[in-house]
Copies of this chain bind each other. A is one copy, B any other.
Amino acid sequence: MRTKLDCIPCIMNQALRAGRAALNVSGIEEREHTLRAIMNRVAMLIPGMDLSKTPPEVASEVYEIVSKLTGVKDPYERVKMNHIDKALEIYPKLKEIVQSSEDKLLMALKIAIIGNAIDLGSLADEIEVLEVFNELFRGKWMLDEEALKLFREVLESAEKVLYIADNAGETVFDRPLFELIVENGKKVKYAVRSYSIVNDATREDALRSGFPEEVIIETGSKYAGVLLEDCSQKFRRAFKNADLIIAKGQGNFETLSHERGPIFFLLKAKCRPVATALNVPIGSLVFKASPNFTRREVPMNTLS
């Protein structure tokens, strides 16, 4: 997805929020002065911004400015840990709900989707993790029935599943679905960012959330999304070989919606450009097959 004009004021808001979060941990006293300098630097980027790039690519420069001017590499480090810990408190409840559901897979998908509300990029300053849970009951659900049918079918025959994470804390909401797929005998990898960007999950965040070391794979990239050309060879291979790809959140949608593959998007549509691209109202909890969905071709040599 290309960056839209509406993304420009949003990115400036992100710079301001990330700048404030960074200053909260940096100890710099001249807050207003530093924030103004951040805003000015971001403003000066605008005329040169290449809107044919995806929003995570454009936004990454902005987060670099915040890091450079505050000296803080990971403004949301503490916030991420706090979100994970809060989510872990309700993890037993999440598991219980799935276990007691008639349609366990559907419930696990829904829990994974509401978890995507824990996003500090496109959303508000503060998120109450416990309130996210209530979205399960009062959220605007936009689950594509055809896509759900297709998902069940693809999962049934899949051997390798790639689950691409989005935010820290949301990671805990991913676990019931991830674990259900593991219980079904599939080989599942949980992909996280290689570097701290916004509140996206890294290896440390996945571990803290309770994922075992051996299932975690990194994208190799610095972006808050999956730009395949910037990812490691190892990740690209996992992507290419997966029979089923679950991509969480806006950043992954923005960077993967044009890619061919067995991709399903699970997210909360938090801004107008993404909601428009998905053809849903803002705030919707979305399950969709990729517009460029293709089944993974079975290699010739495995055919009997």
- Per the bound structure, the CA–CA distance linking A117 and B32 in Å amounts to 30
* Set of chain B residues within 8 Å of A16, measured between Cβ atoms: 5-6, 8-9
- Per the bound structure, the CA–CA distance linking A51 and B33 in Å amounts to 12
CB distance B39 to A8 under 8 Å? Answer: yes
* Set of chain B residues within 8 Å of A5, measured between Cβ atoms: 16, 32, 35-36, 39
Residue A43 is within 8 A (CB to CB) of chain B in the complex: yes
- Per the bound structure, the CA–CA distance linking A13 and B6 in Å amounts to 7
* Set of chain B residues within 8 Å of A9, measured between Cβ atoms: 9-10, 12-13, 16
Residue A298 is within 8 A (CB to CB) of chain B in the complex: no
- Per the bound structure, the CA–CA distance linking A16 and B12 in Å amounts to 14
- Among A13, A35, A44, A46, the one with the most B-chain Cβ atoms within 10 Å of its Cβ is A46
Residue of B nearest to A46 (CB): B43
A interface size (C-beta, 8 A)? 18
CB distance A36 to B12 under 8 Å? Answer: no
Residue of B nearest to A15 (CB): B9
Interface residues of A in 127-175 (CB under 8 A from B): none
- Per the bound structure, the CA–CA distance linking A40 and B46 in Å amounts to 6
- Among A40, A43, A51, the one with the most B-chain Cβ atoms within 10 Å of its Cβ is A43
Query: Would you give the 0/1 interface string for A30-65, flagging 1 where the beta carbon is closer than 8 Å to chain B?
Result: 001001100110011011000100000000000000
Task: Give 27 A-B contacts (CB < 8 Å), ordered by A residue.
Answer: A5-B16, A5-B32, A5-B35, A5-B36, A5-B39, A6-B13, A6-B16, A8-B12, A8-B16, A8-B39, A8-B43, A9-B9, A9-B10, A9-B12, A9-B13, A9-B16, A12-B12, A36-B51, A39-B46, A40-B46, A40-B47, A43-B43, A43-B44, A43-B46, A43-B47, A44-B44, A44-B47
| Interface contacts beyond A8-B43, A12-B12: sample of 11 additional A-B pairs, CB < 8 Å, sorted by A | A5-B35, A5-B36, A5-B39, A8-B16, A9-B9, A9-B10, A9-B12, A9-B16, A40-B46, A43-B46, A44-B44
Give A contacts to B, CB under 8 Å. Answer: 5-6, 8-10, 12-13, 16, 32, 35-36, 39-40, 43-44, 46-47, 51
